[in-house]
């Protein structure tokens, strides 16, 4: 069945997990027990795989758990860190892991192979191994699929997605061989279709779909096959046995092969798998589906024939065969003898070619020359066609050593395939053959029948073992599969028990000789296949008296005959035809009477058949001399056209060939016995005249002329056909030449593109390194500043944040991608975060605001647009700067300033600061009648009368020069009024001790002179000669001098 048409029907409701009853007393277990585990889905991809992964997991339903594990095997660069894990997380809500050695597999999880590792599945764990094959020859998908098939059997599911080459093909074969399920991406939906096409070419893929459609079909299959608890199998019932027999009948009618003697458990497992593929619940429903869909019969037939095969499968067994058996095949043979081997159930030919390689290798080391002949048979015509072609994917490199690949195969890099060399191909004869019903080969030295008998019941196994004993030469060898335990000891001696090597016993003790009469000939099989010639009844019945009589009369009248078509192909044989026909050497697919005719018959039979087809009338040729068994016999040849009705010519034309044996008198010379028109011999007389002999010679000459004429006509026809064929070949050659030129041009273009890609790849690697460094720098910068930062996109979804941001907004790593509005914050009294952020994105104007957390910490929040290098707005950046200490200092300063203002207001003191140029930077309270603008930045020269300004400036310069404070009473006139002030001047220093200006404190003492005049003791209270004093002191200036303008 074509894979593309195989399974595109609409899914139907989930089916029961097992059939209602077994068809025999042997009740096999269900194909898979849901309690035992869950399906493992291996997904292999190469080039173009990322897009396929995205489509596959994006198509996975989000409202249900698939209840299976997914293992992704991608061809990855061995020396670069893979980003596949992070990329897959974007497309699924399932947990995604990069595999670590020994990791336990859980359902509803995705596991991704790490770079530069091979991966195997063993006991529900993923095991990582160092790759053995060099880069470019590794096949990680096949490696994993094979181990998955061996460990999980029916629960193994393989999916092949986009990629070049053939990796995954051999793995798909193994998965199908163990009863698993296979999917492949539709080549039309791939970026690179090499891997999917290679898998589809096996004919084993169950579903061919685009990646987005795979999840629905996968879930439907898994739900049907594993989604329900297994029911206890009921005792065999007549109804269930009848349904199974109907399936056998449908298979036999359409394929010609009878599976009724196969083990019921094997057949039922395959039937259950096909039911799961189509979601059919009951076996009776499946029978109806097969009747309505003939292609399904072929699909089931293909499933029943699937065998797990590979080159040198079970290497230890082949090593034992090479060491213990192959030398013995050559040892007892004379030079130029024929060594005959039969590979039974050869499938696609790997086993047969493996045997041929072993024989060819030993042939090269022995001095004598031998003829090597291997018969390889199977009932699967498609597998035989593959074997005959001798073409295999590049993935066979995992099974065949490099030395053998070099010696016995030709690699075609353009197609990515290995082709078996002609020397090995010519050793093997492939043929469709059913070991159950077709006659065996004979005089064999070795039979290889591996993993075939395990599918058959005990009775059939016993008969085939006896058949092998019959077919082998005395002392011949039998090579079986490591899983087979068929009883052999009556017929074979054990040569190597573990590797299943046996040797034929010459006289088997207690053995029953097999009845080989049950094997009909292949020609009889061809006859049965033509319904217009005869029909086979489904059940044998006892012949009637009339039939027995007619058969006896027929044997008396017609001793031997054959029914043939216009080409001479034999459709039916009657009687002992071995006297007149012999089997030609080599492979015979359609037996032809003209090729099989013995010496003396072929010439006349060819002429006679040609004449009958032209005239549509019977022709008789008496007295033919045929050589058989070293002697000559005389026969009469009669060829008659077959009539479908009286006076009607059958379509297609069929002819009946009758051969009558003529008894010769003992005294006659056999070479000169004449015959009459009735074909009966006449006695020869000594007086026979020359005219009679001349007439006989003329008749013989006329026959030869007719034969020559027929040959000339056929030759002319062949010449015309060859001429036409030559013209077509010339046209094809011209087209191929044109195509070749186009291919050369394309090759040059591809080489140029490849060079560009190499350059771009190098640049990309450099950019990635720069990006990595920039990313590290940014992470360290954000972490070093301690500033909480949050990045959001245009939909206010969180893109990134620094660790300190988690103290303000309750963020965790899994919040990336969630809307900011869904996250709780620790802010108190500020609910406009989302509104303000959206306003910044709308207006592109930054916004600043001070916010407080529940822990009573203050932050300066700044929201500004996120701009790219191209000035595109892609979101917003929120920063939180901790200003708790600054705010506390500011509040303390305000309190202190308030206290100072109160103290100064209660006194008559005026304070002021001046810089090194003696310009006022601060004064409190302001001088009477002046505003802040009139004082700040001015000097005493600008504000006071010239004399007073000069005196005051001199005092202040003295303090600045000496660095020592000074106190003195002065008089000044402000706004026309004279004041006396007690002036203290001190240097103003910064934190380092450097002078940055002076500070002055003046107290109005104008009223004190009046008190001194009225109270002389007051003046005496002052220290004598202290109207002017200097002292060493200074006032430290704040780190940032503050200029204040205080209203009076």
> Does the pLDDT of residue 532 top 60, yes or no?
no
pLDDT digits (tens, 9 = 90+) for 600-622: 888 888 888 888 888 888 888 88
Tell me the C-alpha distance between 160 and 670, whole Å: 73
Q: Which residues pair with 527 in a beta bridge?
A: none
590 is catalytic: no
User: Which SS3 state, helix, strand or coil, does residue 665 take?
Assistant: coil
User: Which SS3 state, helix, strand or coil, does residue 657 take?
Assistant: strand
**Token pair 């899994």 in the structure block, residue:** 814
Mean pLDDT over 630-653 rounds to: 73
Q: Give the percent of the chain with pLDDT over 70.
A: 76
Tell me the C-alpha distance between 665 and 123, whole Å: 83
The confidence score (pLDDT) of residue 928 equals: 58
Mean pLDDT over 1001-1006 rounds to: 82
DSSP element (H, E) containing 530: none
Taking domain 31-229, whether its CATH number is 3.40.50.180 is answered by yes
What does the H/E/C string look like for 146-187? HHHHHHHHHHEEEEECCCCCCCCHHHHHHHHHCCCEEEEECH
**Which CATH architecture is the domain 904-1036 placed in?**
2-Layer Sandwich (3.30)
For the beta carbon of residue 790, count every other beta carbon within 10 angstroms.
Answer: 24
Tell me the C-alpha distance between 170 and 849, whole Å: 66
> Does the pLDDT of residue 861 top 90, yes or no?
yes
Q: Check 16, 22, 23, 46 and give the catalytic one.
A: 46
Work out whether strand 118-122 and strand 40-45 pair parallel, antiparallel, or are unpaired. unpaired
The confidence score (pLDDT) of residue 1023 equals: 44
The confidence score (pLDDT) of residue 850 equals: 92
Which residue in 434, 393, 464, 186 sits closest to 301, CA to CA? 434
The per-residue DSSP string of 584-633 comes to PSS--SS-BHHHHBPTTTHHHHHHHHHHHHHH-S-EEEEEEEEEETTEEE
The confidence score (pLDDT) of residue 24 equals: 34
168, 158 contact by CB (below 8 A)? yes
Planar angle of CA 614, 615, 621, nearest 5 degrees = 100
The confidence score (pLDDT) of residue 215 equals: 92
75 is catalytic: yes
**Which CATH architecture is the domain 786-882 placed in?**
2-Layer Sandwich (3.30)
Q: What is the mean pLDDT of the chain?
A: 77
Q: Check 75, 278, 433, 527 and give the catalytic one.
A: 75
573, 416 contact by CB (below 8 A)? no
Taken in order 699, 702, 706, 707, the sign of the CA dihedral is: positive
> Six-digit token pair at 767?
């950019």
pLDDT digits (tens, 9 = 90+) for 822-839: 888 889 889 899 999 999
Q: In 57-216, at which residue ranges do the beta strands (DSSP E only) sit?
A: 69-74, 95-98, 103-104, 109-112, 118-122, 125-129, 156-160, 181-185, 207-209
Q: Which residues pair with 185 in a beta bridge?
A: 209
Top-confidence residue, 151 or 523: 151
Tell me the C-alpha distance between 170 and 193, whole Å: 17
Which residue in 964, 1047, 949 sits closest to 998, CA to CA? 964
User: Which SS3 state, helix, strand or coil, does residue 679 take?
Assistant: coil
> Does the pLDDT of residue 283 top 90, yes or no?
no
How would you list the strands of the sheet with 409-412, edge to edge? 391-393, 417-420, 409-412
Tell me the C-alpha distance between 844 and 841, whole Å: 5
Query: Length of the chain in residues, anyone?
Result: 1048
Q: Check 118, 142, 167, 206 and give the catalytic one.
A: 167
Tell me the C-alpha distance between 339 and 445, whole Å: 6
pLDDT digits (tens, 9 = 90+) for 149-192: 888 888 899 999 988 888 888 899 889 888 889 999 999 998 88
Confidence of residue 929 (pLDDT cuts 50, 70, 90): low
Question: CA separation (Å) from 526 to 246, 260, 568, 591, 985?
Answer: 24, 21, 13, 9, 133
Taking domain 309-516, whether its CATH number is 3.40.50.150 is answered by yes
Mean pLDDT over 952-964 rounds to: 90
Residues contacting 616, CB < 8 A, separation 6+: 641, 649
The confidence score (pLDDT) of residue 649 equals: 57
pLDDT digits (tens, 9 = 90+) for 704-728: 777 777 677 677 767 767 865 765 6
167 is catalytic: yes
Residues contacting 109, CB < 8 A, separation 6+: 69, 70, 94, 95, 96, 97
81, 230 contact by CB (below 8 A)? no
Burial string for 681-707 (b: 16+ CB within 10 Å, else e) reads beeeeeeeeeeeeeeeeeeeeeeeeeb
For the beta carbon of residue 171, count every other beta carbon within 10 angstroms.
Answer: 29
The confidence score (pLDDT) of residue 880 equals: 93
Most confident of 769-773, 803-807, 864-868, 974-978: 864-868
Topology (CATH) of 520-536+547-681:
Beta-Lactamase (3.30.450)
Residues contacting 700, CB < 8 A, separation 6+: none
Mean pLDDT over 532-542 rounds to: 38
The confidence score (pLDDT) of residue 318 equals: 92
Number of H-type helices and E-type strands within the chain:
30, 40
Tell me the C-alpha distance between 287 and 351, whole Å: 35
pLDDT digits (tens, 9 = 90+) for 746-779: 665 676 567 667 767 877 888 888 888 888 888 8
Question: CA separation (Å) from 126 to 42, 92, 102, 113?
Answer: 12, 21, 5, 9
Each domain of the chain, given as residue ranges in start order, spans 31-229, 309-516, 520-536+547-681, 691-761, 786-882, 904-1036
Q: Provide φ and ψ at 464, rounded to 5°.
A: -70, -35
Domains 309-516 and 520-536+547-681 share a fold: no
Any idea which of 126-140, 470-484, 619-633, 835-849 has the lowest mean pLDDT? 126-140
For 504-507, which contacts have Cβ atoms below 8 Å and span 24 or more sequence positions? Answer: 504/469, 504/472, 504/473, 504/474, 504/475, 504/476, 504/477, 504/478, 505/469, 506/474, 506/475
Q: Provide φ and ψ at 539, rounded to 5°.
A: -135, 135
Any idea which of 23-32, 277-286, 394-403 has the lowest mean pLDDT? 23-32
985, 1031 contact by CB (below 8 A)? no
Mean pLDDT over 867-879 rounds to: 91
């Amino acid at each position: 069945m074509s894979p593309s048409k195989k399974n595109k029907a609409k899914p139907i409701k989930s089916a029961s997990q097992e059939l209602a009853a077994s068809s025999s007393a042997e009740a096999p277990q269900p194909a898979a027990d849901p309690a035992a585990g869950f399906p493992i889905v291996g997904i292999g991809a190469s080039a173009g795989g990322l897009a396929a992964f995205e489509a596959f997991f994006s198509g996975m339903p989000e409202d249900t758990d698939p209840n299976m594990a997914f293992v992704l095997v991608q061809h990855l660069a061995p020396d670069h860190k893979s980003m596949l894990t992070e990329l897959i997380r974007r497309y699924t809500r399932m947990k995604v892991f990069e595999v670590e050695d020994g990791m336990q597999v859980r359902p509803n999880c995705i596991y991704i192979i790490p770079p530069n590792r091979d991966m195997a599945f063993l006991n529900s764990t993923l095991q990582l191994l160092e790759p053995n094959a060099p880069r470019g020859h590794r096949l990680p998908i096949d490696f994993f699929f094979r181990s998955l098939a061996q460990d999980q059997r029916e629960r193994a599911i393989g999916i092949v997605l986009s990629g070049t080459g053939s990796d995954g093909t051999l793995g798909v074969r193994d998965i199908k061989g163990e009863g698993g399920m296979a999917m492949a991406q539709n080549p039309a939906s791939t970026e690179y279709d090499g891997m999917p096409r290679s898998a589809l070419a096996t004919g084993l893929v169950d579903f061919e779909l685009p990646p987005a459609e795979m999840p629905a079909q996968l879930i439907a299959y898994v739900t049907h096959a594993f989604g329900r608890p297994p029911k206890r199998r009921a005792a065999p019932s007549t109804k269930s046995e009848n349904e199974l027999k109907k399936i056998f009948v449908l298979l036999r009618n359409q394929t010609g092969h009878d599976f009724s003697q196969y083990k019921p458990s094997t057949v039922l497992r395959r039937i259950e798998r096909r039911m799961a593929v189509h979601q059919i619940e009951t076996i009776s429903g499946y029978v109806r589906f097969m009747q309505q869909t003939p292609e399904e019969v072929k699909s089931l037939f293909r499933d029943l024939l699937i065998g797990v095969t590979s080159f040198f499968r079970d290497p230890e067994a082949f090593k034992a065969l090479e060491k213990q058996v192959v030398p013995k095949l050559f040892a007892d043979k004379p030079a130029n003898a024929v060594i005959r081997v039969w590979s039974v159930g050869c499938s696609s030919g790997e086993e047969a070619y493996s045997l041929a390689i072993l024989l060819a290798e030993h042939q090269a080391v022995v001095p004598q020359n031998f003829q090597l002949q291997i018969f390889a048979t199977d009932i699967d015509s498609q597998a035989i066609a593959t074997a005959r072609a001798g073409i295999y994917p590049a993935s066979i490199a995992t099974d065949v050593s490099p030395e053998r690949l070099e010696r016995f195969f030709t690699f075609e890099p353009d197609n990515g395939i290995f082709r078996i060399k002609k020397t090995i191909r010519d050793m093997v004869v492939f043929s469709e053959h059913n070991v159950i019903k077709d006659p065996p080969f004979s005089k064999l030295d070795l039979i290889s029948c591996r993993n075939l008998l395990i599918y058959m019941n005990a009775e059939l196994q016993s008969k085939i073992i006896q058949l092998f004993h019959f077919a082998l030469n005395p002392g011949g060898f039998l090579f079986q599969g490591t899983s087979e335990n068929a009883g052999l000891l009556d017929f074979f001696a054990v040569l190597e028990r573990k590797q299943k090597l046996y040797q034929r016993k010459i006289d088997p003790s207690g053995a029953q000789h097999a009845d080989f009469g049950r094997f009909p000939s292949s020609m009889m099989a061809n006859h049965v296949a033509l319904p217009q010639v005869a029909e086979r009844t489904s059940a044998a019945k006892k012949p009637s008296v009339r039939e027995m009589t007619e058969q006896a009369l027929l044997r008396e009248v017609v001793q031997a005959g054959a029914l043939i078509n216009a080409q001479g192909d034999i459709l039916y044989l009657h009687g002992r035809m071995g006297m007149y026909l012999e089997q030609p050497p080599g492979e015979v697919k359609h037996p032809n009477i003209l090729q099989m005719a013995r010496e003396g018959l072929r010439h006349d039979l060819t002429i006679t058949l040609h004449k009958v087809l032209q005239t549509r009338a019977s022709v008789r040729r008496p007295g033919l001399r045929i050589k058989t068994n070293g002697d000559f016999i005389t026969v009469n040849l009669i060829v008659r056209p077959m009539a479908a009705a009286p006076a009607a010519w059958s379509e297609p034309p069929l002819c009946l060939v009758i051969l009558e044996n003529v008894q010769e008198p003992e005294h006659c010379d056999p070479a000169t016995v004449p015959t009459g028109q009735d074909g009966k011999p006449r006695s020869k007389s000594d007086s026979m005249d020359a005219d009679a002999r001349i007439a006989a010679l003329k008749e013989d000459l006329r026959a030869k002329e007719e034969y020559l004429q027929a040959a000339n006509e056929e030759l002319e026809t062949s010449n015309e056909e060859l001429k036409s064929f030559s013209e077509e070949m010339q046209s094809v050659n011209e087209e191929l030449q044109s195509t070749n030129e186009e291919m050369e041009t394309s090759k040059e273009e591809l080489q140029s593109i490849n060079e560009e890609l190499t350059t771009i790849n190098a640049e990309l690697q450099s950019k990635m390194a720069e990006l990595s460094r920039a990313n590290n720098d940014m992470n360290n910068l954000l972490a070093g500043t301690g500033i909480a930062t949050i990045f959001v996109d245009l939909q206010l979804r969180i893109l990134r944040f620094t660790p300190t941001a988690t103290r303000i907004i309750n963020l965790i790593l899994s919040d990336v991608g969630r809307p900011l509005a869904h996250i709780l914050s620790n802010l108190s009294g500020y609910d406009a975060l989302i509104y303000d952020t959206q306003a910044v994105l709308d207006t592109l104007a930054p916004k600043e605001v001070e916010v407080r957390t529940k822990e009573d910490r203050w932050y300066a929040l700044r929201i500004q647009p996120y701009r790219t290098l191209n000035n595109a707005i892609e979101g917003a950046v929120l920063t939180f700067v901790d200003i708790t200490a600054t705010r506390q200092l500011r509040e303390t300063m305000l309190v202190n300033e308030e206290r100072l203002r109160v103290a100064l207001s209660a006194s008559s003191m005026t304070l002021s600061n001046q810089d090194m140029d003696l310009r006022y930077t601060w004064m409190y309270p302001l001088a009477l009648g002046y505003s802040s603008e009139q004082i700040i930045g001015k000097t005493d020269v600008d504000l006071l009368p010239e004399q007073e300004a000069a005196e005051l400036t001199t005092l202040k310069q003295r303090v600045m020069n000496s660095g020592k404070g000074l106190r003195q009473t002065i008089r000044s006139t402000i706004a026309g009024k004279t004041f006396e002030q007690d002036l203290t001047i001190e240097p103003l220093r910064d934190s380092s001790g450097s002078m940055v200006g002076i500070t002055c404190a003046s107290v109005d003492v104008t009223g004190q002179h009046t008190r001194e005049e009225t109270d002389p003791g007051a003046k005496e209270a002052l220290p004598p000669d202290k109207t002017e004093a200097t002292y060493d002191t200074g006032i430290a200036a704040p780190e940032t001098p503050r200029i204040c303008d205080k209203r009076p």
